[in-house]
Structure 1
Amino acid sequence: MRTIEIDDEVFAYLQRHSEPLVDTPNDVLRRQLLEGEKSSAGKAETRKTGALMFIIEAGLAAPGDKVQHHQPRLKRTHEATITADGWIETPDGQAFPQPSPALKTQTGIDINGWGQYTHLPSGHRLQQLREEATAKHQD
């Protein structure tokens, strides 16, 4: 095992791309640096950042946070999880870079995931969090 020093900006990057209470900084670096090399050998490629990363970076959501959509007439509730790289992951393990395709998979119909998923920790719709993140970014 080797010891390296990193600056605060690099450490913040590692935190944004880690799964809380699961990943070590080494896990994140391994994923970011070595997965691309493995892709040429037929392994999984590193995926690009998902649409919710903007909201995570604004401090309005965190990896591991749950989102939920309730269909009262059908008495169904659909949950998903925000991943460390800004994707939405459904309970069956499928991951989507945007909320709408994730919700479509869960409900079976075209539906606006930004407008219909509620971020459970804040109680706000993803659309509202996106607007708040945009406003923070413009300040």
Structure 2
Amino acid sequence: MTSRTIEVDEEVFAFLQQHCEPLVDTPNDVLRRLLLSGQQVEPSENAALPGKRRLRRPGALMPLLEAGLIAAGDLLRHEQPRRHMVHEATVTSRGWLKLTDGRQFSTPSRALAEQTGTTINGWIYVHVPSGRSLLQLRARVKRD
């Protein structure tokens, strides 16, 4: 595949930034997703401008949603007793995790790392309705 160089102005670059997953997507990834993928379009809760829409690929929790083990709106919790901290996130309909400050992440580990400030396995979040960890629920999906 031949690559080409293009120049974009600040406004276009800002738009690309709004539609990317930081440290994962390149500008080409964002353009490919927006222009060529045909994926589902959802309202962006993170967009700077009201009414903006963005493409959202399914998050890592989608297999658990599809298996009926979790549901959109379910609460996830991780407790750090020694630090007297509790971190919570909500499952979105596309399998992402939404933090209490509104930021959304496609993987549990990225979400929990943002909350704790350190690299951590986010699959240890506890799914509050079932009392099981995401790791346990993921193992059930793989077994079935």
TM-score (structure 2 length as normaliser): 0.64
Equivalent residue for 1:127? 135
Post-superposition Cα deviations, 1:33-87, rounded to whole Å, max 9, x if no partner, equal 687xxxxxxx442110001010010010000000000000010000000000000
> Which runs of 5 or more residues in structure 1 are unaligned?
1-30, 36-42
Residues of 2 paired with 1:75 and 1:50: CA distance? 29
Percent of aligned pairs with the same residue? 49
User: Within the alignment, does 1:118 sit opposite 2:133 as a pair?
Assistant: no
Equivalent residue for 2:109? 100
Mapping of residues 37-48 of structure 1, within 5 Å = 43-48=52-57
Q: CA RMSD in A?
A: 1.8
DSSP-derived class of the 1:130 partner: helix
Q: Which amino acid aligns with 1:84?
A: S
For residue 134 of structure 1, report the CA deviation from its aligned partner. 1.4
Cα 1:74–1:44, aligned 2, differ >3 Å: closer, same or farther?
same
Instruction: Name segments (4+ residues, structure 1) moved above 4 Å.
Output: none
Mapping of residues 12-91 of structure 1, within 5 Å = 32=40, 43-91=52-100
Q: Which has the higher helix share?
A: 1
Cα 1:126–1:34, aligned 2, differ >3 Å: closer, same or farther?
closer
C-alpha contact 2:42 2:54 (8 A) present in aligned 1? no
TM-score (structure 1 length as normaliser): 0.66
Cα 1:96–1:67, aligned 2, differ >3 Å: closer, same or farther?
same
Q: Which amino acid aligns with 2:138?
A: R
> Which runs of 5 or more residues in structure 2 are unaligned?
1-38, 44-51
Q: Which has the higher strand share?
A: 2
For residue 32 of structure 1, report the CA deviation from its aligned partner. 3.3
DSSP-derived class of the 1:45 partner: strand
Q: How many pairs align?
A: 98
